[in-house]
Amino acid sequence: MGLLNRRRATAPAPATDSASAPATARLTGVWTIDPAHSSIAFVARHAMITKVRGTFADFDGRLYLDGQHPGRSTADVTLQAASLHTRQERRDQHLRSADFFHAEAHPELSFRSTLVQQLSADTYRLTGDLSIKGVTRPVALDLTHTGTATDPFGNERAGFEGSATVDRTDWGLTWNRVLETGGVLVGEKVKLEFDVSAIRAA
């Protein structure tokens, strides 16, 4: 949904009557994620020393944004597990196998929001249920609204970027190998990164 504003409010709460609400009121409405101009990616440690980056090529999502009362906003995103790519086909096939995502039996990953909290004029904390491989657990991610624009085709767009770090074993993605030098082949902590362009639908 990138640079993130990592400022932490002591006790963030839904900004139902935030002083910044008038500036974001224009966002109110239904938006659809444009996959051609968006990215949903993941980053994990390999052999404890480097990072492997991957993306999902096939996904869709729908947002309802309430600029006056951000706490009423919702997000719904679905990703196709078989569409993941890390630029190495043998590794991609392994990630799609039962050792990891088991894409044949669990073709979709999904995120459904349960709470939206406004942290500042353009940053939000989005909490929701992430479902992977038949397991659903809550996650929270921080988002920055990067702006709005009208493209050359007359589409009104809104941009968001953000990230969250999760433990893959919480969703049953437990495959690993112990290294002779100590540690494991695949890191358990995975960073999820979002860079989203959404088009106003209504």
pLDDT (tens digit per residue) in 38-50: 999 999 999 888 9
**In whole angstroms, how far apart are CA 24 and each of 7, 98, 121, 183?**
20, 44, 8, 47
Predicted confidence at residue 67, as pLDDT, reads 87
Predicted confidence at residue 182, as pLDDT, reads 84
Low-confidence ranges of the chain (pLDDT < 50): 1-22
Predicted confidence at residue 24, as pLDDT, reads 72
Predicted confidence at residue 121, as pLDDT, reads 87
Q: What predicted TM-score, i.e. pTM, was given to this entire model?
A: 0.84
Predicted confidence at residue 2, as pLDDT, reads 37
Predicted confidence at residue 23, as pLDDT, reads 57
